[in-house]
């Protein structure tokens, strides 16, 4: 282990599901999914500092509604990293974490999962662990289903419970308008609602089966394919989700869709100007939060996997996780605020 820094800042992006198919229920109680995911430029910020004067993991968050104990995925991820690195959180050292939330909670944007992934990636760097994306993804898999994706982002086909990640590339660029209606949707309820509204699990269409083996896409390819199995089921209860989608389309979106299990609805736009106008108009309604963000992602490189550590986590493309790092030396790290 080679520690070269004592503190670090990591930025963690949200994701959207461009395609989300909910398949059969697994013996472990979870569902298999088939999804095309992409990160977007709405980001949380995490700051980490090693503290030799204390022990344990201490998490501080600017959102008072979020727990800062072991219920938070950031705390879970940090404790798991320290344990697997041979540095039990209750003995080896103190670790202070400050989380600045910008991604809405229970919004279908995987903010908590991205924060957990950023925690694993940040501590991997801070502690000099040298873990590969596959190794970090295996740790993340123990924390949450969406976590592994972020180690192969900005875009990937995701299958299984979320552990089968095949990175893909996108050509072209788009802007996305994210509209949060002002209320959360719990994932468990969304799955229950979906189950109550369909008689059987539809198979993947021939079109999506054809997509499954691809490693590259253009936005023009993907926009006509966008769909989410949760959308209609949840819109029957929350009509505002359908209203937001219609408003985004009327504002010029090429396509609009529910992300994840909600409650965020997003529209895809060709340029920043049209996205900004749509954000201003659709986000005007009381209680809504709207963001116009870019879909640009992390750099990547082609690399052969001659002996992958885990076939389900070994994508055809390996890339640097989409987290930006910066040392905090000389900056304020006020752990008194929470």
**DSSP secondary structure string for all residues of 210-252:** HHTT-SEEEHHHHGGG-EETHHHHHHHH-HHHHHHHHHHHHTT
**DSSP secondary structure string for all residues of 20-69:** EEEEEEPTTS-EEEEEEEEEEEEEEEEEEEEETT--EEEEEES-TTS--S
Phi-psi region of 66 (alpha: psi -120 to 50; beta: other; left: phi over 0): beta
Of the candidates 7, 44, 115, 146, the residue annotated as catalytic is 146
CB-CB contact of 15 with 37 (8 Å): yes
Half-sphere exposure in the Cβ direction for 67 (13 Å, CA)? 8
Tokens representing 192 are 């229950």
CA-CA distance, 202 to 137, in Å (whole number)? 29
Give how far the C-alpha of residue 338 lies from the chain's centroid of Cα atoms, to the nearest Å: 24
Give how far the C-alpha of residue 291 lies from the chain's centroid of Cα atoms, to the nearest Å: 16
CA-CA distance, 161 to 165, in Å (whole number)? 10
CB-CB contact of 79 with 119 (8 Å): no
Of the candidates 15, 21, 44, 245, the residue annotated as catalytic is 15
Say whether 15 is catalytic.
yes
Q: Just list the catalytic residues.
A: 15, 146
């Amino acid at each position: 282990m080679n520690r070269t820094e004592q503190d670090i800042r990591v930025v963690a992006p949200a994701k959207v599901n461009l395609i989300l198919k909910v398949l059969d229920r697994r013996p472990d109680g979870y569902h298999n999914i088939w999804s095309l995911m992409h990160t977007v430029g709405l980001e949380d910020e995490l700051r980490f500092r090693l503290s030799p004067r204390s022990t344990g993991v201490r998490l501080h968050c600017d959102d008072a509604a979020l727990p800062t104990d072991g219920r938070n995925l950031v705390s879970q991820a940090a404790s798991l990293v320290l344990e697997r690195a041979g540095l039990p959180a209750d003995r080896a050292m103190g670790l202070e974490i400050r989380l600045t939330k910008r991604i809405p909670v229970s919004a279908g944007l995987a903010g908590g999962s991205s924060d957990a992934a950023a925690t694993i990636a940040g501590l991997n760097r801070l502690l000099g662990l040298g873990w590969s994306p596959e190794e970090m993804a295996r740790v993340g898999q123990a924390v949450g289903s969406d976590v592994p994706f972020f180690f192969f982002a900005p875009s990937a086909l995701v299958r299984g419970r979320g552990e089968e990640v095949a990175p893909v590339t996108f050509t072209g660029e788009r802007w996305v308008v994210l509209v949060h209606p002002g209320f959360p949707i719990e994932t468990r309820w969304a799955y229950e609602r979906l189950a109550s509204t369909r008689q059987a699990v539809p198979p993947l269409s021939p079109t999506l089966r054809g997509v499954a083996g691809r490693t590259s896409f253009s936005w023009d390819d993907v926009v006509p394919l966008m769909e989410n199995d949760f959308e209609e089921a949840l819109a029957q209860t929350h009509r505002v989700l359908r209203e937001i989608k219609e408003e985004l389309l009327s504002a010029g979106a090429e396509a609009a869709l529910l992300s994840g299990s909600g409650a965020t609805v997003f529209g895809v736009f060709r340029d920043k100007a049209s996205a900004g106008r749509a954000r201003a108009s659709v986000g005007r309604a009381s209680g809504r939060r709207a963001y116009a963000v870019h879909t640009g992602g992390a750099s990547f490189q082609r690399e052969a996997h001659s002996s992958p550590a885990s076939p389900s986590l070994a994508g055809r493309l390996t890339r640097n996780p989409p987290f930006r790092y910066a040392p905090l030396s000389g900056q304020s790290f006020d752990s008194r605020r929470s």
